[in-house]
Every structure is written in C-alpha cells, then in structure tokens.
A and B are shown apart, each in its own frame.
Chain A
Amino acid sequence: MSAAWIDTLLGRLAARDVHLREEPAPGLAPARLFTAKTDDWGALAHETRNLECRWVAGFGEDAGDYILMNTVFEKDGAYLVARTQVKRAMPFLPSHTPYYPGADRPERHIQDMLGVAFTNHPDPRRWTRHQAWRDADCPLRKDFPVAGRMTGPTPPDDTYKFLYAQGAGVYEIPVGPIHAGTIEPGHFRFQAVGETVLNLEEHLGYTHKGIEKIAEGRDADGLARLASRVSGDSTVAHAWAACMAMERAAGIDVPARALYLRAIMSERERVANHLGDIGMVLNDVAFTFGFYQFSRLREDWQRLSREALGHRFMMDRVVPGGVAANLTDQMAIAMQAQIAAMRPEIENLMGIADDTASVEDRLVTTGYLAPETAKAYGALGYVGKASGHGFDARRNAPYAPYDQLHVEVPVYQYGDVAARVKVRAQEVLISFGLLDKLLTSLPDSPLRANWKTPAAGAEGLGIVESWRGEIVTYVRFGADGKIARFFPRDPSWTTWQGLEKCIRDNIVPDFPVCNKSINGSYSGHDL
C-alpha cells in the first residue's frame, strides 16, 4: 500500500488552481478525507482519472441546507474520500461519468434518491426509481417519510426509455423482471439479429427495498441485521463491512479470535458461492454431471457451516464488536478434514471439465470482457481478475487478520467465461489454504468487545473483500448511537455494466452462461 499518489494528485490539482483541504476523519482511516469546492468536482475526477485511480463509490447525505456528496477513490491500495457540499436549494454538481463510465449508475441512483442533478451526465434517465415514488420526491431527503407519499397499488414501470435499434431483421427480446429460473428479478432488453446479440440494456431496481432509508434510526445491532440482508449470498461480508464501519466510528478494537472467525466465515462464504456458481455455469452449458458434482460439494460445505457455526449461510454471526458464534476445536478439525477431502475432488472435477470438449467449446471466448472495458467500470472480484485487474482488498488494502496472511490472487487477460470460472476454481483452492492457516492459528480471546456509543456525527468506512469483490460501506451515527446514514456499495455495481458489454456479438442462448459467470447481485445493487 502506498499513498504517495495523493501528493501527486494534490500537486496536479494545485497547478489547475484547485485546492483540496484535508480534514481529520479518524473513522474513515486508513482512508484520508479531503474536501473540495463544488465547481472543482469535475476537475478532481479528471486528475484522478489521469493518475489512473479507481472510482470506488459515490454517495450523498442530506445535511439540512446542504447535501454532502462523497466519492471514494483508490490507487495502490490507498483510499481517498473526496467530499463537497451542494446547496439543497440548487443541487447541481459536475458529473464524474465523463471520466469514469462506472460512475454512471451510482450518480443516477443519487439523482433518484437525493435529487442531486449531475450537470454533464451523458444519461440523465432515472435508474433506481420506477413508479413507487414521484420524480419530485427524494426518499433519502430527511423530510421524506419512510412510509412514502404514494397510496394504492404501485403501477408497473412501462415507460422507461430503452435504447432501440432499427433495420431489416433487427428484433427485440424483453426478458423479465421475472426470469425463467429461480433467480432474482430484473429486466433485460436485447436487440438481436438472428441469434446474434447487437446490444443488451439492463433495467434494474426491481428489488429496491429502501435499505438506505430504513437503516436510519436503527441501533448498531439492528444495522448489522439489515446489512446481513443487503445480499443474502454475501451476508457475512456485508455484515463485516457494516460492523467494521461502525467499529471504526466508535473506536472499538475487535478481539483477535473474533477477527479470525470473521475471516473463516468469509472464506467459507466465498467457497460456497464459487462452488455453487461453477456448477451453475456448467449446467448452463448442459454439462449436468458438473452441476450435480459441484452442487453436492456446496451442500456438504453448507452443512458443515451449519453444524459448526449454527447457520447454513452464517447469517447474523458477525455482530458489532465481534462475532455471535464460536468454533470448537472439534469443529475446526472437521473443517480441516473437509478441506483435505475436497481439495483433490475439485482438482479432479476441474480436470474433467477442462478435458470435456463441449464445455470448452461453450466457455472459451464466450462473453469476452476486454481488460480496458473492465477497467473503465472498475470491475471487481473474479470479473476484474479474469480481465487483467487483480485488485483484492485482502492483498492490496489488507485488514486484520489478512494483514497477517499471504493472499494469492489469480489474474488472467482472456476475459471470457472460461477465465472467470478458472479464477473462481483457483480462489476456492486459495481459500482452502487460508482456512487451513486461520484454523490452525485461531487465537484465544473474548468473542465480542463491549459496544461504546459513538459521538453524534461519528463516521466510519468499512472495506471488505467479499466473494464478488470489494465491499465499501459508509456509516454515520446521529444522536444516541442511532444510525444517520448507511451506504453499502456492493461490488455488483462495478460488474453489471460489464455484463451488457460482454454479451455483444454472442448468441442469445449464451446469455444465461454469461450472466451466471458474472452473477451480479440484484438485491445488493438495487438496495
């Protein structure tokens, strides 16, 4: 990790007569907080882009006469939080999207939720808002009631203006929000010629549950429960990121054993999801043998999670100050035995899949996401790693206990479905190694530190590598230890746009396998 780039950035900005001011923000550390003038917001993104910083997350907060706007940048494992104020009466702000295509939807989300207008945004269409609240309403403004202002049934959202294509033989395929399988809802609009996809446009937001709004006023335990359900498949990682943010805001040190148990649960979550999804990808190309084998391994894995930690997903086991589950020596040994048995099985099964011509034919070159496209969107996790970008918070910005461990990160340039599957299979084996180390060196300590009510206004940032990639969670406390603002940035924000691009020029029947290979969270994105 190196923060040297921040000085370079400040220098380049100063040369443009743009001056950032560093503010003390202990809860955001190791990230550093800088404030900027509203008019300089665009120049800031221009210079961070020139320095090849990653645009990590953007979020706003109603602060009365002003709306506080934040963007998080990262380079070389060092984070910078930039903050500015826009007047509530005149909420205009230069957009970051011209410099960072990945800022497109986050800014439109802020526009829909807080009523901030991004002046040079290339696509001012609504994004998160369908028909559940009016254009003039902003759910995250403090004067908007949590119950909303609409009565009666919510009309269907049939007025969203999709891009369209014209020409002989061009046709559209609307898919969703309810999909054919047991998966989350969202709308996909394809333009195709014959079997070839010309363009795909996503329309998400169907699972918007008002998470940011209903977080307000909760206590720390209540926020951890909500964070556990931002995306059920990433329950451990989201709860960890939220708790880390709250603990930093409150200045609480988490006991060593609790940190190890969090990492054990997080790696178990990674393995379970990778195993399940590799099986699903193989199922989507009609290699049902692979599907049944990997779903069997996933079930074995989840059963031991339940036996050892009390829940198949380890939901609500990460709590403010520590963990709500312990691991007996006997169960730690059982976990190691399971890893020892599963490692050769996975190597064997991946070998079989690799040698099966029909699988190779369907996965190799399918759903190609070019490294430059992945970079433009800041694609995280296995999507980024399969397209040349190996950011992994466990290695690049390590947090305890990963600061004590060596995390290997597989990176490929191929960018296709096969590469994403390969990254995930390798991550399973790497997680096995990490689990072995964590289980053999599990320290003895209390499981949970006492909670301390943080001062009103205290803020915290939690950064955790989930199985999908880096989660960045912002928390601010109000009076009496109640939450005033909660924003969890799921990594799916950085990969959904990649799905739109990777499916172009592929055949329509390959969409399911492309989608599964990326597997964005709808719930984590729609919030």
Chain B
Amino acid sequence: MLRILAKIQKIGIVTEPLPKIDEPVLQQVGEQLKAKVGELFGGSLAIRQVDAGSCNGCELEINALGNPYYGIERFGVHFVASPRHADMLLVTGPVSRHMEAALKRAYDATPEPKLVIAVGECGACGGEFGVSYASCGAVANVVPVDGVIRGCPPTPLDLMRGILEAIGKFQAKRP
C-alpha cells in the first residue's frame, strides 16, 4: 500500500494541457466542452460507443480519452453500457453488413436527442473499405448522422473537439 501511495505521490497529476506537439490547449477544448455539456445536458453527456465494423484503431483512441492525460469524465462526458442511457452514439465504421441490423437496433433504442457522430475516415465515408457485398460504407448510409470526426484514426484531441462541435450544432438546431 505504501508503495502505491508513494507512486501516486511521485507521479502527481499528469492530467495536463500541453501535448508537446503544437496542438491547441487540451484544457481549453475541455473547458468549452464542460460548459456546453453543463448548459445542454445538465452537466452530464452520456455516450454509447458502437463499433459497427471498424479495424479497432478508432476504439483505441476513444479508449485513450479515459487515460489520465485526457480524463474526459472531468468535463462531464461519460461512456455508458446501454444505448437506452445514452444522449449520443459515437459510431465507428465502415458499417459492415453483418452489423447493419445491430446498429439500427442500437439507434432505435437510444432516447432523444439521439445525437449520432460518425467517427474516423471509414465512419465518415467508408474509408479504405467503401461499399461492397460486405460493407455499407459510411455510417450515414445506415442511420442519420449529426456530426463527423475525420482522421485515421482521429486523435483523442480530435475526438474531444468533434464531440464539442456536434453538441454546438445541436444547440444551434434547437428551437
């Protein structure tokens, strides 16, 4: 136990705003995200991630949002196990034909506002896989899409920006 505490004390809090490569400040994107989530979703945005046929690259970067550098939960964003608990579906593609029905069912099970973000080049446009006997291509070919996050795969920061952008658009759309 003492060694665990010593390690925690030595490492301190690594959650921080400065990726070395010249990226805009994570903290800034995060604070905007937090403000928007606070304003539009009562401080808590629930996301159900659906892998509809991806190569697993996007999933690794979505998982990275939970590491201590990004710590996306501190901005009010959390991932839930059921679409019934979700405000937003984060869908990676291409949508394989074998996942078509499952994705539609997840979409149907999601309550309003049911925001859908297509993640990655494949989710956005089919990517390297396109449309074939086995692939429906872009997520938008299967369920309505509100936003797109490009990249192969998009970095964790791209993902945070994309989520922020999508809920910004949702706000603009509201009556």
Contact = CB atoms under 8 A, between A and B. Distances in A.
A, B in one complex: yes
Interface in B72-106: 79, 81, 94, 96-102, 104-106
A206 B153 contact: no
Contacts of B11: 293, 296
Interface stretch (A149-157, A396-404, A456-464): A149-157
Contacts of B57: 229, 232-233, 235, 313, 315
Nearest to B64: A299
B7 A349 contact: yes
A209 B135 CA distance: 5
Given A154-B97, A355-B3, A295 B64 contact: yes
Contacts of A315: 57, 152
Interface string B50-66: 11111111111111101
A213 interface: yes
Given A293-B11, A307-B20, A315-B57, A229 B133 contact: no
Given A210-B134, A306-B21, A233 B53 contact: no
B98 A139 contact: no
Contacts of A235: 55, 57
Contacts, number: 180
A208 B96 contact: yes
Interface in A102-151: 130-133, 139, 144-150
Interface in A3-39: none
Contacts of A266: none
A515 interface: no
B133 A149 contact: yes
A164 interface: no
Instruction: Name the residue in A148, A154, A295, A348 with the highest tally of chain B Cβ atoms < 10 Å from its Cβ.
Output: A154
Given A132-B97, A299-B67, A352-B3, A207 B53 contact: yes
A199 B83 CA distance: 28
A231 B106 CA distance: 24
Nearest to B104: A153
B4 interface: yes
Contacts of B51: 178, 182-185, 207
B98 to A, nearest CB: 5
A180 interface: yes
B68 to A, nearest CB: 5
B172 interface: no
A522 interface: yes
Instruction: Name the residue in A230, A295, A315 with the highest tally of chain B Cβ atoms < 10 Å from its Cβ.
Output: A295
Interface string A187-220: 0000000000000000001111111011000000
Given A147-B131, A229-B127, A292 B98 contact: no
Nearest to B101: A156
Interface string A309-325: 00011010000000000
A162 interface: no
On chain A, which size bracket covers the interface?
Answer: 35 or more
B6 to A, nearest CB: 9
Given A214-B129, A296-B67, A296-B68, A233 B60 contact: yes
A213 B8 contact: no
B155 interface: yes
A302 B101 CA distance: 35
A206 B96 contact: yes
A206 B99 contact: yes
B112 interface: no
B130 interface: yes
A299 to B, nearest CB: 5
Nearest to B79: A182
Interface string B1-37: 0011001100100100001110000000000000000
Contacts of A276: 60, 63
A295 B134 CA distance: 34
Interface string A273-314: 000100000000000010011011011001100110000110
A233 B67 CA distance: 17
Contact of A146 (B52, B60, B64, B132): B132
B41 interface: no
Contact of B132 (A130, A184, A210, A230): A210
Given A154-B101, A232-B56, A352 B96 contact: no
Contacts of A178: 50-51, 102, 106
B133 A150 contact: yes
Instruction: Name the residue in A185, A225, A302 with the highest tally of chain B Cβ atoms < 10 Å from its Cβ.
Output: A185
Contact of A232 (B4, B54, B100): B54
Nearest to B48: A178
Given A147-B132, A210-B134, A298-B67, A182 B62 contact: yes
A348 B127 CA distance: 42
A243 interface: no
A521 interface: yes
B55 A177 contact: no
B98 A206 contact: yes
Nearest to A225: B128
25 contacts: A132-B134, A133-B133, A148-B133, A153-B101, A177-B99, A177-B102, A181-B81, A183-B59, A205-B98, A209-B53, A211-B129, A214-B132, A226-B128, A229-B57, A229-B152, A230-B55, A232-B56, A233-B57, A233-B60, A289-B4, A289-B7, A303-B19, A306-B21, A349-B7, A523-B55
Interface of A: 130-133, 139, 144-150, 153-157, 177-178, 180-185, 205-211, 213-214, 225-226, 229-233, 235, 276, 289, 292-293, 295-296, 298-299, 302-303, 306-307, 312-313, 315, 348-349, 351-352, 355-356, 521-523, 526
Ordered nearest first, which 7 A-B pairs have the shortest CB separation?
A: A232-B57, A148-B133, A210-B134, A156-B101, A132-B97, A232-B55, A295-B67
Given A206-B96, A293-B11, 19 more contacts: A130-B97, A147-B132, A155-B101, A178-B50, A205-B98, A208-B98, A210-B132, A229-B57, A229-B129, A232-B55, A232-B57, A289-B4, A299-B67, A299-B68, A313-B57, A315-B57, A315-B152, A348-B7, A523-B55
